[in-house]
Structure 1
Amino acid sequence: MTLIKSISGIRGTIGGPAGDNLTPLDVVKFTTAYVRFTASEHPGKRLRIVVGRDARISGTLVSDLVEGTLLGCGADVIDVGLCTTPGVELAVTAHDADGGIIITASHNPRQWNALKLLDARGEFLSDAQGKRVLELAGQTDFSYPEIDAVGRVLSRESYNDEHIRRVLALPLVDADAVRRRRFRVVVDAVNSVGGVVIPRLLRELGCEVIELNCDPTGEFAHNPEPLPENLTGISEAIVREQADLGVVVDPDVDRLAFVSEDGSMFVEEYTLVAVADYVLRHTPGNTVSNLSSTRALRDVTERHGGHYYAAAVGEVNVVAKMKEVGAVIGGEGNGGVIYPELHYGRDALVGVALFLTHLARTGLTMTQLRKTYPAYYASKNKIQLTPAIDVDKVLLEMKSRYAHENVNDTDGVKIDFPTCWVHLRKSNTEPIIRVYTEAQSMAEAEALAQRFMDEIRSLGQA
């Protein structure tokens, strides 16, 4: 069964039995439920919904089904076509829409797709709202309007150029400083929509761009998650081309990773750390990341006199905490930068522009900049769920075993040791337990992860 319904949307593999995978029937059912929910939030109003997609090969199929269902439900549609996730979020408010549907499975492989659901603020539905959509999808009394009340397509127009314009207009984006550095940049956009927008943004910033996997065919050239083991191609290209840095995005361009001039990883966790360092220099304040993110953000925040706060994993949780504490910058350790000055959503375009401004103004190389931050090493692992593993029972047992340590059970179980930590949680997007660790050396982080994975497996056999 590969249909996953969670706070991250409706996600599944294409084809197969309805109800077990993301089939046409499932797309229609969940889109209808989303319209019914949105209508309840805006009673008596003719709805206006933005639809956009990444470049994966099932995108047109799913997009056509979503659009047709929206029209059949009496909602008007603004189709922004091939668009990043943050671009769709911005388009919702720009078009004064009542919501949006982003058709993307983010970092998942090519056989996956998903419906990510937005509210009228261009933000993801809350957990309670998402559960209401799922309840409505479980009902069987769907009734659709007759011909005079069906929706209309109001426009089919890209939002990509406007997204770039709004990023460049931000006060902390110093395009002139970046242009003076004349950066030579290799871009790996895994043959999705990032190949359309990231090179265009970089050229606006005066960079020389070398494109790698920037043809938006949806045929991913490698595993689309921007992890070091998937990025050997860009590392080699940077050295070969004598580039200043590399920019890597996932298929829907809400995650961002950098590669240094020597081909080494800047490390995805440090995308947010570096951007936060720059933002905090000019707008002191608080920061937020999720429980699985590096301690380096806390260290940098405190260095600038701010307070760091941790949220449960999931963009909607991070956004809620950012609003609660008035954070000036936040995000997730997976390379997701959230800059409220533009909008409350992970946005790789904002991350690129702010990072390059920071790099340009410091006059440092990538490897030199990286050395200015605290050195932590993360190990990210997962255990495939089996019938023998009762996740809730496992997490309760771990909490009990380590009650003498600093334990946070806001989202799964995070155990903070003096010089390292481990975070255990059930994934929102895959049938796995995530085991994330961080320590002051990779050997320590990996040993800690192995220790806890062995403990979990032993509990599954008990």
Structure 2
Amino acid sequence: MTLIKSISGIRGTIGGSVGDNLTPIDAVKFAAAYGTWLKQYRQKDNYRVVVGRDARISGEMIQNLVMNTLVGMGIHVVDLGLSTTPTVEVAVPMEHADGGIILTASHNPKQWNALKLLNEKGEFLDGKAGEAILKIAEQDASEFSEVDNLGKITTNAAYIDMHIDEVLKLPLVNAKAIDKANLKVVFDGVNSTGGIAVPLLLDRLGVHCVKLYCNPTGDFPHNPEPLKEHLGDLSEAVIKEGADFGIVVDPDVDRLAFMDEKGDMFGEEYTLVACADYVLSKIPGNTVSNMSSTRALKDVTESHGGSYTASAVGEVNVVKMMKDTNAVIGGEGNGGIIYPDLHYGRDALVGIALFLSLLAEKKMSVSELKASYPLYFMSKKKIQLIPNLDVDAILKEMAKAYESSNPSTIDGVKIDFEDSWVHLRKSNTEPIIRIYTEAGSQMEADTLADKIISEIKAVSEN
């Protein structure tokens, strides 16, 4: 069992002992630390926090603990109940709230849950704020309100519909063309809140939706990370139904992947590429993704006359870089679309709407669309670390070995070659070094990864 405390929030497995897992005591402790930080940060008389959750089994328990902790601190809570991460992000500024908490462990299995923390803009906290909250929790520095000053909980179940309203208001969402295209899709909601939100969006766009695992019980029917090896049922259903394509999201609906009409993956990395292609065709500008994302986004961006920038891994880093470069769209290669005209957060609903608009206007199949983009292949491997190994020293040696290629050391080591790249970074959540490579064929990507792994092992043994 595990409890992971990081600047982006706290996540862990349910059950077990306090301090080692996400127990009720830990949920209260970190909710209180967030509430204390919020009061220090905002310094006002009244406070309001938006709280929502995905459908995982522990969600209601954790949400009640978190909300009532905030109430005990005199903070008013807007309870969205079953919701999505981007819906909570949209709701925070609409409610003029001081912050938000999302109860979700994203793509992790059902035994996990987490507190994801937002600021008053509905955006994830930066490193400075995250560190301050961890320090407050460590010092048990929270104070609670007297009985006459307790907060109140109000319920608002309308925000998924309101989120969809905001998506459909976007000028680039071509609802008329989508409706006219008469599309049929199969959607895998992994028995979480995507099963509520995505069919509602598709219905309002006139898309016929065949629902697969859309009952929000939190009992995930397969590994909830939207990767090819977990999506055999979706592939079969797309072919059986004669659908135009398939859609899958993760449990909190911030990651998005597509499957073509043949039941083959469109490619999680290409979700952002396609959405960016559509946006850039209408509004020329810049794009951002993290260093571990496909080079295809750079190619597509430059084909539209824009500039591409790579950020350190992590949504908060992508968002900062997007603001710095005035990017019109950005995100992460794991299927996370960030479209600033709606909000600065990964959002599968806006991704679906942009992708459908692209498909409807191009009048081509999903497999034809994929074939129109630069084709790259990725290898994602890892090395288990030996205790007490100096990972930073190893990465420094790797950067030195490839000094002639001018490697980036913003986040681990990223080495760009003419026709390929490799990104090495230590995980923030596991004792591993991640090795991501990309090349023009799967064999080349795998070979490059294996070569780098051998070199890392040689360096670590010296």
TM-score over 0.5 (shorter chain) = yes
Deviations 1:138-197 (A, max 9, x none): 113432111011111133424111111111111000111011111110001111110111
Query: Displacement of 1:460 after TM fit?
Result: 4.6
Query: Displacement of 1:129 after TM fit?
Result: 0.9
Match of 1:195 in 2: 195
Match of 2:211 in 1: 211
Deviations 1:266-309 (A, max 9, x none): 00000000000000011101100000011100001100000001
Contact 1:81 1:158 in 2 (8 A): no
Alpha-carbon separation, structure 2, partners of 1:58 and 1:91 = 23
Alpha-carbon separation, structure 2, partners of 1:307 and 1:427 = 29
Alpha-carbon separation, structure 1, partners of 2:42 and 2:358 = 42
| TM-score, structure 2 as length reference | 0.97
Q: What SS class does the counterpart of residue 120 from structure 2 fall into?
A: coil
Query: Displacement of 1:395 after TM fit?
Result: 1.4
Match of 2:220 in 1: 220
Alpha-carbon separation, structure 2, partners of 1:143 and 1:302 = 53
Alpha-carbon separation, structure 2, partners of 1:276 and 1:304 = 10
Contact 1:291 1:414 in 2 (8 A): yes
Contact 2:36 2:142 in 1 (8 A): no
2:367 is aligned with 1:367: yes
For 2:229, give the aligned amino acid. E
Alpha-carbon separation, structure 2, partners of 1:461 and 1:219 = 44
Contact 2:102 2:116 in 1 (8 A): yes
Alpha-carbon separation, structure 2, partners of 1:431 and 1:62 = 27
Contact 2:272 2:332 in 1 (8 A): yes
Alpha-carbon separation, structure 2, partners of 1:243 and 1:154 = 41
Alpha-carbon separation, structure 2, partners of 1:57 and 1:363 = 41
Match of 2:316 in 1: 316
Query: Displacement of 1:386 after TM fit?
Result: 3.6
Contact 1:8 1:428 in 2 (8 A): no
Match of 2:408 in 1: 408
Deviations 1:352-387 (A, max 9, x none): 000000000000100111111100011122333441
Q: What SS class does the counterpart of residue 329 from structure 1 fall into?
A: strand
For 2:66, give the aligned amino acid. V
Query: Displacement of 1:391 after TM fit?
Result: 2.3
2:103 is aligned with 1:99: no
Distance 1:288 1:159, change over 3 A: same
For 1:222, give the aligned amino acid. H
2:423 is aligned with 1:452: no
2:138 is aligned with 1:167: no
Q: What SS class does the counterpart of residue 436 from structure 1 fall into?
A: strand
Alpha-carbon separation, structure 2, partners of 1:12 and 1:195 = 24
Deviations 1:9-37 (A, max 9, x none): 21111122211211111111111111111
Match of 1:14 in 2: 14
Contact 1:8 1:314 in 2 (8 A): no
Which segments of 5 or more consecutive residues in structure 1 lack a partner in the other structure? none
For 1:215, give the aligned amino acid. N
Distance 1:165 1:396, change over 3 A: same
For 2:356, give the aligned amino acid. L
Alpha-carbon separation, structure 1, partners of 2:68 and 2:130 = 22
Match of 1:240 in 2: 240
Q: What SS class does the counterpart of residue 408 from structure 1 fall into?
A: coil
| TM-score, structure 1 as length reference | 0.97
* Match runs of 1:235-384 below 5 Å: 235-384=235-384
Q: What SS class does the counterpart of residue 392 from structure 2 fall into?
A: helix
2:72 is aligned with 1:72: yes
Distance 1:227 1:77, change over 3 A: same
Distance 1:8 1:44, change over 3 A: closer
